[in-house]
Structures are given as structure tokens and as C-alpha cells.
Amino acid sequence: MIDPLSDIALFVRVVEAGSFTAAAAELEISTSYASRRLRVLEDRLGARLLQRTTRQLTLTDAGRAFYDQAAPHLEGLLDAERAVSALQSEPRGTLRIAAPHSFGLRWLQPAMLPFLKRWPELRVEISFDDRTRDIVGEGFDLAIRGGRLADTSLVARRLCSFRGVLVASPAYLEAHGRPTHPHQLVDHTLLDYAVATSMPRWWFQGPEGEVSAEVRGQLVADSGDALLAWARAGLGIAYQPEFLVADLLASGELEPLLPEWQTWEGAFHAVYPHRRHLSPKVRLLVEHLTEALAGPPWAPGCRPSAL
């Protein structure tokens, strides 16, 4: 079905071509279809625009007034329509993303490289911040969020899952011993992650069911990277997500503790305001990240930058 703007364009072409047949040929539609669409336009306006005879078409007064107003502006309107259609066919303009700081720098940033190379006309702005940003209010197109999703008005696409890992340096374990049960953590220095959603207790699931350890950290920070730096220096035990500690475990700088105990699990989602008329830049990025962060990417031999 032709949209209203196309109906107006058809009317202008009929007037300028002097016949339905010539205008229909130019627009590559049938003459009968062109005639039907013009009747739809007249019905919508509540006025006859053309007097039709077997030999000629004549503008009515209403038709002349409508043509005089429509023709000068038609090309600009069609250009605007074509511009929007182009934006809907491939990603252009600016894409604003909110992402957690440490996860964003470690995993989102390298995952974005092939996407940016694929779409060079797209400008990407990323805010690395552990706060939960107001996507709509702050003008973001997309956010990457970990943990529980509280805003049910947003569309969410699961990207990857992760679990918590209890870690310490070899030097710390040599000096203070290796805990074999969560209850023994009370005798150790714990490095506490302090944000609004931080846990006052560390929870574990094991042979005895669910147990916990109260967190009274000597060192407290709202940065997982800071806590891991302290853990590497032998200052205590950290309880951090595996996407932050995978490389340190692989290098031996940190060692996993209580491997027989199941730790907390979480997931990262791409969240955005609308599903209907989703812009190509958001849709393509979500599809790209779903592939790039699958695996998960911090598993041995899997890196998003290699995509």
C-alpha cells in the first residue's frame, strides 16, 4: 500500500506528466492502480482534485491550490523520507552506549573493534560507569548491564553468563594458609567490593547446603580492579567475577579457593528501550555482541577481539 506522501507524489507526477498513463509508466505502476490511489487521496482530503475525461485531465480549484502548496515542498519531503529510510537500512549517526567500567574496558572494548571497522560511518560514544544509568533520560541507545535486571520496561537480550571466584595470591596463601571451608574465611583478610548492590555476606553452595561468610574487609573499594591489585600484592582474599580474574588465574598470579563450593552466578544483558522499529545500529550491535561475547569470551582460547 502506498503511503500518504507517495499518494501526494503520484498526484504531482500526474499533473506534471499530463496523464495517468505517463505518470504510471514513470513510477512503474499500473494506470488503474494510479487512478485508485488518487481517489484515495481525494477521499482523504474530502475534495476532487482532477476532472477526468477520456481526452484530458483538468485541475479543479482545490486541485490547483493543493498542487501549488505540495509541489514546491515535495522533493524536500521525499529527501527526508529517503534519509530516514537510509538510516533504517544501515547503521549511521551516533550510537551511545552505557557499560560497566571493568567489564567494558576488558571485554566490550575489544569486542567493538570489528564492529567499528565494519561500519565506519557510525560514531560510537561509550560511557564506562558502574552506575545504573537512565537509558531514556540520559539519551543512551543501549546499555550493558550485569546482575539482576530491575527495569522491566526495557527490552533485554542475554549476552553471556559468569560466576564469582574466590581468589588469593600464592604469597598470601603461603603466609596465612589456604581456607578449606567458607566458615574459615573469618580468620582471613577479606577485600570487600563496596557499591550499592554489594553483598554484606559472601554466599556459597556446597555439600552442607548454603553457607555464608560475613564480610568485614580491611580494605574496601568500589573497583574490582583495585581489589585484584591488592589481592595480587598479597593483602587478602577477593571474591570477584571470573571475567575479571580469568587472566590472573591463567598466569598463576592468583589461585582459586574453595573450588568444591558453588559460587554466585550472574549474566550480562544488552538492554534498550524499544523492540518496535529498532534502529539498525542497535539491532546490529546487539547481534554482534551476542556472538562476540558468547563462549563466554574469557574461557581459554576464546577472545572477542579475534572475531
Distance CA 296, CA 17 (A): 61
Q: How confident is the model at residue 143 (pLDDT cuts 50, 70, 90)?
A: very high
CB of 122 within 8 A of CB of 95?
A: yes
Domain edges within the chain:
4-89, 93-307
Angle between helices 20-27 and 4-17 in degrees, nearest 10: 130
Instruction: Look up the CATH architecture of domain 4-89.
Output: Orthogonal Bundle (1.10)
List pLDDT tens digits, range 174-199: 999 999 999 999 899 999 887 644 56
Place of cell 506528466: 17
- Our measurement of the distance from residue 256's CA atom to the centroid of its chain's CA atoms, rounded to an integer in Å, reads 32
**The CATH classification of domain 93-307, taken from the options 2.60.40.10, 3.40.50.300, 1.10.4010.10, 3.40.190.290:** 3.40.190.290
List pLDDT tens digits, range 223-265: 888 999 999 999 999 999 999 999 999 999 999 999 989 888 8
Q: How far apart are the first and last CA of the chain?
A: 41
pTM beyond 0.85: the answer is: no
